[in-house]
Structure 1
Amino acid sequence: MPHTITEVLNHNQVSTRIRRMAWQIYESNSSNTDIILAGIANGGYLLAEKIVAELRKISPLEVNLHKIIMNKKDPLGSEMHLEPEAGNLQGRSITVVDDVLNSGNTLIYGVRYFLQFPVREIKTAVLVDRNHKRFPVKADFKGLSLSTSLMEHVDVNIEKEPYSVKVS
C-alpha cells in the first residue's frame, strides 16, 4: 500500500488558526496586565513564538515567552526547566503551548511543572488536537481537532514558510 501524505491545513489556514488562537488567549486574559506563554520545545515553542507575535499586535498585554525544556521520553527522570527562567510566578496566568496534542503525556508534564508554584491559572493551547488522550488533559485553545488513526503521523511545519499541517 503506498504511503500517502495529505495536507490538512495550508499556509493561510495555519496562519488564520494561529491568529484565532491568539485572539482567544487575549479574550481569556483580558482582565490581566500580563501573561506567560510557555512553549514545549521544540514544536510547542515555535507555535508559542507565533502566538506571541500575534498577541503583541492585538493586545496591550505584557507577554512573556518561555521555552519548557524537558525529556519527552522520560519527563520524570530528568530535570525540567524554563528558558529563560521566569522568576516569581505567584498569581501569574500561564498558557502551556504544544504543537500537537496526541496522548496528552507531554502536555500534562508541561502543566505539571507549573503546579509547584502558586500560579493564578494554567491553560493549554495546541495547534492540532488528535483526540487520542491517555491522560486527563484538554486543550483550552486549539487550532484544529483532527480524527486520525493511531498509526497516522501528524506533521506540523511552522518553522519556516509556507506553514502546513500534514497527515501521513
Structure 2
Amino acid sequence: MGKQRTIILDKERINWKLQRMAYQVWENYSNEKSVTLIGIEGSGTIVAKSLARRLKEISPLQVETIIVKLNKRKPVSDEISISEDLTGKAVVLIDDVANSGKTLLYALAPILRYEPKKVMIAVLVDRRHKSFPITPDIVGHSVSTTLQEHIDVETEGEHITAAYLQ
C-alpha cells in the first residue's frame, strides 16, 4: 500500500496564491526599477515564470528570470552556477516548496557571492518543520507537518496544477 496523499492546493487556489505572491513581491520591491527572479530548476522555475508574468501585469518593474541548477538530492555534489551577474541587483530566490530548507540554503550561497542589493526568498508552499535555518519571506501557503510528511507538487507543462501532503 502506497503513501496516502491529501490535496492541499488545487489549480484555482494555486492561481490565487501566486497572484497574492506577485503583489507581495511588488510591495517589497516597489522602490526598485527592476527585480531578478531566480527559479530553482524544475517546479521552482515554473513558479518564477508565473510570478514574472503576473509582476509584468501589475507593476512597472523590469523583471528578469533566470534559473539556478543544482542537484536537489545532493546539492554539495555539483558546483552550483548562476549565469548572470547579480551584483547590486534586487533578487528573489524562488522554489515550489520549502521542505527541509536544504535546497534553498545551497541555492542561496552562490547568490550571496555576488553581493546583491537585496535578497528575499519566495515559495509556493512552506513546510513548517525544516532541518535547515531558512525562513521564506513570501509564502503562498504554509503547512504544519510531521517530520515524516512531505509536500509534493504536480505540474503540467508550465503550470503547477496541485500540491499534496504525503
What TM-score do the two structures reach when normalised by structure 1? 0.91
The 1:78/1:2 distance shift into structure 2, 3 A limit, reads: closer
Aligned with 2:103: secondary structure? helix
Gaps of 5+ in 1: none
Q: Which runs of 5 or more structure 2 residues have no equivalent in the other structure?
A: none
- Give CA-to-partner distance per residue, 1:82-129, whole Å, 9 cap, x none: 3xx213x22101100011101111001111111111210111000111
Q: Which residue of 2 aligns with 1:130?
A: 127
Tell whether the 8 Å contact from 2:14 to 2:160 is kept in structure 1 after alignment.
no
Matched, 1:75 2:72: no
Q: 1:135 to 1:48 in 2, by over 3 A?
A: same
Whether 1:64 aligns to 2:61 is no
1:28-107 matched pairs, under 5 angstroms = 28-82=28-82, 85-87=83-85, 89-107=86-104
TM-score, normalising length: structure 2: 0.92
* Pairing partner for 2:136 from 136, 139, 146: 139
Report the secondary structure of 1:132's partner residue.
coil
1:27 is matched with which residue? Answer: 27
SS in 1 for 2:74: coil
Deviations 1:39-65 (A, max 9, x none): 111111111111111111111111000
Query: How many residue pairs end up in the alignment?
Result: 165
* Structure 1 vs Structure 2 CA RMSD: 1.7
Q: Distance in 1 between matches of 2:146 and 2:43?
A: 21
What one-letter code is carried by the residue in structure 2 that aligns with 1:76?
V
Please list every run of at least 4 consecutive aligned residues from structure 1 whose deviation after the TM superposition is greater than 3 angstroms.
158-162
